[in-house]
Amino acid sequence: MKNAILKKEKLDDFIKIMSKDEKVIAPVLKGNQSYTFTEVKSADEISLKYLPTILPPKKYFMPQHETLIEYDKRNGQKVHCVVEVEDLVIFGVHTCDLAGIQCLNMIFADRPKDMNYLIRKNRITLIGLECNSYCDEFASCALMGNHIPKGGYDLLFTDLGNYFFVEINTRKGEELIEKTNLFENADSNHQEELNKLRKLKESIFKPEVDIDKNEIPSLFKKKFESKIWEDIGERCLSCGNCTNVCPTCYCFDVLDIPDLNLKTGKRVRVWDSCQNEPFAKISGGESFREKRGDRKRHRFNRKFRYPVERYGKFFCTGCGRCSRTCMAKIDLKETIRDLIKEGN
């Protein structure tokens, strides 16, 4: 598979051709400075330079609300499984969000496999968009190594002035390029321009917290009893915003919803949050994480320690959404710095 280029004036045709056959989703400005992944029909609706969207593209892989089963007892017990799925192309996904989808892929392919997720994932075409500079001060993508592309896409677009360098990563991506017939082969000059940009990025993106990445899991282990968790627990409002906007948070609840006739109904899956008090409540009313500080500590450990032990991977992409959205101004980088500063 050879790499390609797309001249910028052809982006609109690219979007329009794709949207004839399937829904095209891309980052779109919402309000003053917020962005959302939304369906588009043309390139002028898309924001190529955008801050991480309010919700990450996980909302298409794992919808906030999805039906798993429908039942009907009127003529004998009939139950059927439901997979809510449609063909989608998601264009313009930053490298941090691609990393988030890679985390979710790992979780839902683990045993027991989640077929609803896996079927949906196979119907989504992912087109990444490399960040050439920082989104804003909340990002910690360099610390997590996600400022550079690490796979997980069908095509990756890199803005190189009046054209995009396009890395073709899968057969699906290659077919899309052939179908649209708008791309040209990349030559050695284009490759040289890409190499220059990647070099420049080395001077722009530096680890945002002064710690060796390999030391992060042991920092969290050592700091399990730190007073810092109590302190941020006092400020936390338990609103769950930080987990809702996180591209790697995947906890859900399953609810049975009978219709009023009590004969038909459905089973649904909805997003849940470890920051909600009832999340860790068990029968008898006991709660494993009654205090807000305990829940905050759990969230951080689920990003920087437990997944490293189980999957050999951080489950923080460095997107900065949790800090950007927190009404109590609980900042992820600041928390890690405070834990380091506290010493042994």
Residue 29 · residue 53 · CB < 8 Å: no
Residue 27 · residue 39 · CB < 8 Å: no
* Gap between the Cα atoms of 168 and 176, Å rounded: 10
**Site string (323-342) toward ligand SF4, x via CB under 6 A:** --xxxx-x-x----------
Report, in Å, the least distance between residue 246 CB and ligand SF4.
3
Report, in Å, the least distance between residue 288 CB and ligand SF4.
17
When the beta carbons of 211 and 328 are compared against ligand SF4, the nearer one is 328
Backbone angles phi, psi at 58, to 5 degrees: -55, -25
Please pick, from the candidates 15, 246, 268, 336, the single residue that binds ligand SF4 as defined by CB under 6 A: 246
238 scored as a contact of ligand SF4 (CB under 6 A): yes
242 scored as a contact of ligand SF4 (CB under 6 A): yes
| DSSP H or E run through 253 | strand 252-258
Lay out the sheet containing 88-93: strands in order across.
34-40, 23-30, 88-93, 124-129, 155-159, 163-168, 4-7, 184-185
| DSSP H or E run through 299 | helix 292-304
When the beta carbons of 56 and 173 are compared against ligand SF4, the nearer one is 56
Q: What are the angstrom distances between the C-alpha of 296 and each of 77, 223, 292, 300?
A: 44, 13, 6, 6
Please pick, from the candidates 3, 102, 116, 241, the single residue that binds ligand SF4 as defined by CB under 6 A: 241
When the beta carbons of 115 and 327 are compared against ligand SF4, the nearer one is 327
11 scored as a contact of ligand SF4 (CB under 6 A): no
Altogether, the residues listed in the chain come to a count of 344
Site for ligand SF4 in 256-295 (CB under 6 A): 275
233 scored as a contact of ligand SF4 (CB under 6 A): no
6 scored as a contact of ligand SF4 (CB under 6 A): no
When the beta carbons of 57 and 173 are compared against ligand SF4, the nearer one is 57
Closest CA to 128 of 104, 161, 150: 150
# of chain residues touching ligand SF4 (CB under 6 A): 26
Which residue matches tokens 């330079």? 49
Residue 229 · residue 294 · CB < 8 Å: yes
Please pick, from the candidates 316, 335, 336, 339, the single residue that binds ligand SF4 as defined by CB under 6 A: 316
Which residue matches tokens 């809702």? 244
* Gap between the Cα atoms of 339 and 296, Å rounded: 13
105 Rama sector, left if φ>0, alpha if ψ -120 to 50, beta otherwise: alpha
207 scored as a contact of ligand SF4 (CB under 6 A): no
Please pick, from the candidates 93, 124, 155, 236, the single residue that binds ligand SF4 as defined by CB under 6 A: 236
| DSSP H or E run through 88 | strand 88-93
- Which range touches ligand SF4 (CB under 6 A), out of 107-115, 185-193, 230-238, 250-258? 230-238
- Which range touches ligand SF4 (CB under 6 A), out of 179-187, 188-196, 312-320, 334-342? 312-320
When the beta carbons of 69 and 328 are compared against ligand SF4, the nearer one is 328
Residue 163 identity: Y
Residues that bind ligand SF4 (CB under 6 A): 236-242, 245-248, 275, 303, 316-322, 325-328, 330, 332
